[in-house]
């Protein structure tokens, strides 16, 4: 009866511990890896501004027949460093939103050369065609500048934070993200509490706690690691629906990076779990046969 009274509670707690360990590792992954600095570094590593420049140039070339404005009017004033500054402005604004009320407020850096190019094109066109520079001319000029900034911003928003904001996703994520540290502390605290309960339940044979913790850690590593291995093995994120080069690269590289990080944590959990079980086995045998010595065979 004594064994049943310790075995059953230990089993129940170890099952709960499995899910607490998985949740703890996931929350720690969010705390450590999902930050503005990490996303900027990932974007820089993939040189997303180069892909943005190519796509933006194609966009203005395709629209030439509609707008009558040559691509060079825009692109001659746009550098990779300028595109990178806008890209980072969206990332910074998104994390400001996540840490507050979820409202995205992006301030796109001004580009004097771009505005001057548009001014020159419109004025040259008006002078050449005797077009009156009236209120309609001024409105068209202002609208073209505003549209230029909007278009450039749209291409530089590689993680599509604007779309998340427009669809109400960012405010919902903000409620979770802003409380992530509290949630992490709570889950880790619960994990420690259940380990302490295991110690108390097995207080007459405390070494058994190593066994239960080891088994829970191994199972949590398997349950968390198996899906991660599958996602990476089948290149799951390559099926991402948006094929815009910069956006596709941004999302897939981020998802693979986070999946690999989570998988690494789970593999480490399996190793730690096996180590705990092995230590338990060795220690248990020594306690079981404390005076065992080699004997001479005659």
- Return all residues near 271 (Cβ < 8 A) that are at least 6 apart: none
User: pLDDT tier at 297 (50, 70, 90 boundaries)?
Assistant: very low
Q: Give the pLDDT confidence score for residue 244 in this predicted structure.
A: 87
User: pLDDT tier at 96 (50, 70, 90 boundaries)?
Assistant: very high
Q: What are phi and psi of 118, to 5 degrees?
A: -70, -40
- Return all residues near 295 (Cβ < 8 A) that are at least 6 apart: none
User: pLDDT tier at 5 (50, 70, 90 boundaries)?
Assistant: confident
Q: Give the pLDDT confidence score for residue 101 in this predicted structure.
A: 87
Residue bearing the bigger pLDDT, 298 or 85: 85
Q: If you average pLDDT over residues 233-261, what whole number do you get?
A: 92
Q: Residue 292 pLDDT more than 70?
A: no
User: pLDDT tier at 290 (50, 70, 90 boundaries)?
Assistant: low
Residue bearing the bigger pLDDT, 242 or 191: 191
Q: Residue 133 pLDDT more than 50?
A: yes
Q: If you average pLDDT over residues 29-41, what whole number do you get?
A: 92
- Return all residues near 189 (Cβ < 8 A) that are at least 6 apart: none
Q: Model pTM?
A: 0.85
User: pLDDT tier at 205 (50, 70, 90 boundaries)?
Assistant: confident
Q: If you average pLDDT over residues 166-171, what whole number do you get?
A: 92
Q: Measured on CA atoms in the order 186, 189, 195, 197, is the torsion positive or negative?
A: negative
User: pLDDT tier at 1 (50, 70, 90 boundaries)?
Assistant: very low
Mean pLDDT computed over every residue of the chain: 91
Ranges of each domain in the chain? 4-36+206-288, 38-169
Q: Give the pLDDT confidence score for residue 243 in this predicted structure.
A: 75
């Amino acid at each position: 009866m004594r064994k049943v009274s310790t075995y059953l509670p230990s089993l129940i707690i170890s099952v709960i511990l499995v899910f607490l360990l998985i949740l703890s590792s996931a929350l720690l992954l969010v705390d450590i890896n999902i930050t503005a600095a990490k996303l900027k570094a990932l974007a820089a590593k993939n040189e997303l501004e180069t892909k943005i420049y190519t796509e933006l140039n194609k966009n203005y070339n395709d629209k030439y027949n509609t707008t009558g404005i040559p691509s060079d009017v825009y692109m001659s004033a746009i550098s990779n460093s300028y595109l990178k500054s806008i890209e980072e402005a969206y990332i910074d604004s998104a994390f400001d939103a996540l840490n507050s009320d979820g409202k995205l407020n992006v301030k796109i850096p001004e580009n004097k050369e771009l505005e001057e190019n548009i001014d020159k094109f419109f004025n040259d066109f008006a002078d050449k065609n005797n077009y009156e520079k009236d209120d309609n001319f001024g409105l068209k000029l202002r609208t073209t500048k505003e549209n230029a900034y909007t278009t450039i911003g749209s291409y530089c928003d590689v993680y599509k934070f604007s779309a998340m904001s427009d669809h109400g996703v960012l405010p919902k994520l903000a409620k979770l993200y802003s409380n992530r540290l509290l949630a992490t502390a709570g889950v880790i605290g619960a994990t420690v509490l259940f380990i302490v309960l295991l110690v108390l339940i097995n207080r007459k044979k405390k070494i058994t706690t190593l066994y239960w913790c080891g088994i829970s850690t191994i199972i949590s590593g398997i349950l968390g690691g198996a899906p991660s291995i599958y996602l990476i093995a089948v290149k799951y994120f390559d099926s991402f629906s948006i094929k815009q080069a910069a956006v596709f690269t941004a999302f897939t590289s981020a998802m693979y990076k986070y999946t690999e990080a989570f998988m690494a944590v789970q593999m480490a959990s399996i190793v730690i779990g096996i180590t705990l079980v092995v230590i338990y086995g060795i220690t248990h045998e020594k306690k079981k046969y404390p005076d065992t010595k080699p004997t001479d065979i005659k």
